Amino acid sequence: MSRTEAGQRPRAVRARFRAGEGGPTAGLAPGHTQANLIAVPADWAYDMLLFCQRNPKPCPVLDVTDAGAWSTQLAPGADLRTDLPGYRVWENGQLVAEPGEVTGHWRADLVTFLLGCSFTFEAALLAADVPVRHIELGRNVPMYVTDRPCRPAGRLHGRLVVSMRPVPPERLSTAIRETALFPSFHGSPVHCGDPAALGIADLDRPDFGDPVDVRPDEIPVFWACGVTPQAAVMASAPPFAITHAPGQMLITDAREEHYRVL
């Protein structure tokens, strides 16, 4: 994949995904906002928007489309049906397809939610000398379903999903500060340290993404994750939904700096 500056512009990266390229998006188009995608029938849109409002750490809403639309002001010219590297299609809470584009699955009643993603603050972490292991390794970030229930909303319920990055102790306060200033990308960590406190039995067996090594001196740090609504879809079984594949985000034109609170 081209790592030239022009090749890292959001539009160019989306064009490659539209042409069929796949893979996780961590580290791509640095400085630009990445987004989780979840589309549900309009009949479920209020429950989803309320679920997001009631669970703002995992579900920071960046944009909501009108029913049927596949465009967003966050990425002019983008087609939400084709411009992500990978999608998941859900029927009654069951995964029924994992296609590279969803033009054939789209419905006129779909309302699409774009939620902030922790990949976006990784550029700020790297700039502040906080290492990001899964980028070093060229892997997807490890993600885990915790034992913490989300606050339900209407018919939607489910458990919190988190992403994990190992951080050296001397960089921990920097990592917390840098991410706290981006509440739209999940903000500060939900937990630092023992994964058992979140009901995570084995860091080497993530529920989504790839495992990464945690060195003996490092602290596993957990941030709320935008895969949480997918866990809610699995638990709550709406008749139909389309989501991004975990770690395979929409890359928008919006500058991450736009969302920094200070």
Q: Minimum CB separation from a copy of itself for residue 138, in Å? A: 31
Task: Give the whole-angstrom CA distance, residue 137 versus residue 159.
Answer: 28
Residue 78 vs 114, nearer CB to a copy of itself? 114
* Residue 21 C-beta: closest distance to a copy of itself, Å: 31
| 215 within 8 A of 248, measured Cβ to Cβ | no
Shortest distance, CB of residue 65 to a copy of itself, whole angstroms?
10
Q: Which of 257, 174, 235, 244 is nearest to 209 (CA)?
A: 244
Measured from the Cβ of residue 157, the count of other Cβ atoms closer than 10 Å reads 16
Name the minimum Å distance from CB 2 to a copy of itself: 35
For the CB of residue 188, give the shortest distance to a copy of itself in the complex, in Å.
Answer: 7
Nearer to a copy of itself, 49 or 198 (CB): 49
Min dist. Cβ of residue 258 to a copy of itself (A): 12
206 token code pair: 């993530």
Shortest separation between residue 249's beta carbon and a copy of itself, angstroms: 19
The b-or-e profile of 111-129 (16+ CB within 10 A means b, else e) is bbbbbbbbbbbbbbbbeee
Q: One-letter amino acid identity for 90?
A: W
Closer residue to a copy of itself, CB minimum distance, 67 or 95 = 67
Q: List strand residue ranges (DSSP E) for 197-244, in order.
A: 219-224, 240-244
For residues 52 and 249, which CB has a smaller minimum distance to a copy of itself in the complex? 52
Closest to 246 measured CA to CA, from 101, 130, 85, 93: 85
Smallest separation, CB 38 to a copy of itself (Å): 14
Instruction: Decide: 35 and 117 in contact? Cβ < 8 Å.
Output: yes
Q: Given the DSSP bridges, would you call strands 219-224 and 191-192 parallel, antiparallel or unpaired? A: antiparallel
The Cα 202–Cα 95 span in angstroms is 24
Q: Do residues 164 and 142 make contact, with C-beta atoms less than 8 angstroms apart?
A: yes
CB of 10 or CB of 187, closer to a copy of itself: 187
Q: Residues in the site for a copy of itself, rule: CB under 8 A? A: 45-46, 49-50, 52-54, 61, 64, 176-177, 180-181, 183, 187-188, 261-262
- Residue 153 has what DSSP assignment? B
Amino acid at 167: V
What's the sign of the alpha-carbon dihedral 66, 70, 74, 77? negative
